[in-house]
Amino acid sequence: MKKLSFKKKFKEKSKKWLRRQITDIYYIRSKKEGFRSRSSFKLIELNNKFNFLQKKTKVLDLGAAPGGWAQVARKICSEGKIMGIDLLNIKELEGVFFLKCDLQKNDAIRSVEDYFQGKVDVLLSDMAPNTIGHAKADHLRIINLVEVAIDLSNKVLKKEGIFICKIFQGGAQGELQKKMKKNFYNLKYFKPKSSRPESSEAYLIAKKI
């Protein structure tokens, strides 16, 4: 029986990723403009559309690695406070506090409260699971991350505060909206131009009741 060559398969996948990156206009712009990731432009588009980042805004950034969204927030919120949380290590960024921790641990909430000394104005979540290529399963996995972000927002986001999170479009969105309407209003979906056309991702924007 012929053995499968996982090494060859991995190399082809890597080559495809590299080809896509070097021809990606937002990847190229991120390098030219000094952003840590192409996803920085997603937050720029979101803010241009909904205008939630101001000079003194307090921002909590979930799934912050590698720090691209924090860079944008720091640039706009020059007198605000920015905190980023991720399971991964993140290179230091002036004016931003990065914390490596599990959001489902109680010490995460305490750390947020201690840093901001009060509620946050904006909670951002660009968290996404490692996809497996199965649309329904991937959707359910990101729904779980959205629920983690919602639970945290119920504790740390101020009244009328802005909640923004990544979502993969799928069948479970109806149930998610029902849950969110208990604590949020003015729910909207937005897909930035900088989001890859083939991706099912979009961003859910809402205000805290």
Q: Catalytic positions, please?
A: 166
Determine phi and psi for 36, rounding to 5 degrees. -75, -20
Give the Cα separation of 18 and 52 in Å (integer): 34
In what side-by-side order are the strands of the sheet with 157-168?
A: 96-100, 81-86, 58-62, 120-125, 157-168, 201-208, 184-190
Signed CA dihedral, 51, 201, 40, 207: sign only: positive
Orientation angle between helical segments 173-180 and 135-156, nearest 10 degrees:
10
- The letter for the amino acid at 113 is E
Choose among 35, 88, 93: nearest CA to 62.
88
